[in-house]
Amino acid sequence: MDIKSKHEVNANFSMSSMTDIVFLLLIFFMLTSSFITPSGLPVNLPSAAVGNIVSQSNSVTITADLKYYLNDNEVSINNLERELAKVATEINGSVAIHVDESVDTKHLVKVAGIAMKLKQKLTIVTKPE
């Protein structure tokens, strides 16, 4: 008489739910890490008491020796408006301005005027106190 059990225990472990969790975590960290994109150029930023974290689409950097960079590419002040118009794809986009603290405000105002002319929102980047 051969008696067989109707309930067999399967010893295999399914990894599909574990891989789903790992992929969801990977996507989460990839998305959240792209919200803050610091400029790669060495600029001594001024400090401010209050600051917000803003997602930036384009950045303009003015170094202490008055070199202008648009998204880490050097441009002259004469070509800045044309180059910013090329990369500013949407109206009311954002432009983050990284200005060395030793630079005169007239250079900041000139870049801000170009950004406002192109209907871009303006953010001045500072470091916290």
Beta strands in the chain (DSSP E): 47-48, 58-62, 68-70, 73-75, 94-99, 121-124, 127-128
Q: Count of CB atoms within 10 A of residue 46's CB?
A: 15
Q: Give the whole-number percent of the chain exceeding pLDDT 90.
A: 9
Tens of pLDDT, residue by residue over 68-112, are: 998 888 898 888 888 888 887 766 678 888 888 888 889 889 998
Q: What is the 3-state secondary structure (H, E, C) of 70-102?
A: ECCEEECCCCHHHHHHHHCCCCCCEEEEEECCC
- Alpha carbons within 13 angstroms on the beta-carbon side of residue 68 total 18
* pLDDT > 60? residue 37: no
| Domain extent listing, the chain | 1-129
